[in-house]
Amino acid sequence: MLKIAPSLLSADFAILGQEAEDIRLSGAEWLHYDVMDGIFVPNISFGIPVLKSFRKCTEMFIDAHLMITQPVRYVKEFCDAGADMVTVHMESDTPENITKALELIRAQGKLCGIVLKPNTRAEAALPWLDMVDMILVMTVEPGFGGQSFMADMMPKLARLRAWINERNPGCLLEVDGGVNKDTAKLCVENGADVLVAGSAVFKYKGKYKEAVDALR
C-alpha cells in the first residue's frame, strides 16, 4: 500500500506539535524528518534535540532522512531520540562506514535505508540492497523544499524497483523532492511505495487531508 510521508521541513516550526496532529488527522502514514548539517548540503535544518521533543507530540512513524557528512557518528542518537527509520546518503562517507551506520541503526531495533542523490547511479545501491529496509531516490538536489521534480530520475526508480522485487521484496522504495499530485502518479507508475511531500502538503491552502488524498 502506498504511504504518504509529509516532510516537516515545510511545516510551521512554531507549532510543530499541532502540525503533527493535523498530519495524523490527514491520514498520512508517516512523517519525514529532514536533517541537514550545512556541509553535506548547503542548508541547516534541525537535529537531535528537536526530534526528541517532537517525539513526545506524536506516535506516528518518523522517517529521519540524514543529509549530514559521516552519519555513522550520529545514527545511534537519532534512534535514541525517537526515529523509527533512519536513512543515510551513500555519498556521505566511505562504503565501510555507510555499512557500519546501517548496522548501528539495526542494532537499535530501528529500520534503516540508503539514499541516492540525483547524480548517483542506481547500480551504486546494489551492495546494500539485501540489507536495507528502504531505498530513497532523490528527485531534487537535497537541501531545500519547494524545488521542481526531476522526471529524468524515473528510469533509475524503475530499475531499483526491479532489483528490489528480485532480491529483497520487503524493501520499500521512497521518492523525495518535488512530489505533487501530478508527479506522484509518475512515481507510483515507476514503482515507488513511499512518497515524501513537503510543500504539496504544508503549503496547501485547505485541509491537509485534501492534499494527502490528492497524492494517492
Active site residues: 34, 176
Q: Judged by CB under 6 A, does residue 113 bind ligand DX5?
A: no
- From the list 81-89, 144-152, 184-192, 206-214, the region that binds ligand DX5 by CB under 6 A is 144-152
Cβ contact 212:26 at 8 Å: yes
Q: Which does 199 bind (CB under 5 to 8 A by kind): Zn ion, ligand DX5, none?
A: ligand DX5
CB of 142 to Zn ion, least distance (A): 7
Contact 73, 81 (CB under 8 A): no
Q: Which does 47 bind (CB under 5 to 8 A by kind): ligand DX5, Zn ion, none?
A: none
Q: How many CA atoms lie within 13 A of 157 on its CB side?
A: 26
Strand 134-138 relative to strand 61-67: parallel, antiparallel, unpaired?
A: unpaired
Site for ligand DX5 in 38-67 (CB under 6 A): 65
CB neighbour list of residue 66: distance below 8 Å, 6 or more residues apart: 35, 74, 75, 78, 86, 87, 88, 89, 92
Q: Which among 55, 56, 60, 34 has a CA at the least distance from the CA of 140?
A: 34
Stretch 156-195 residues interacting with ligand DX5 (CB under 6 A): 176-179
Say if residues 77 and 91 touch (Cβ distance below 8 Å): no
Residue 34, interface with ligand DX5 (CB under 6 A)?
yes
Closer Cβ to ligand DX5, 103 or 210, answer by number: 210
Residues in contact with ligand DX5 by the rule CB under 6 A: 7, 9-10, 32, 34, 65, 140, 142-147, 176-179, 196-200
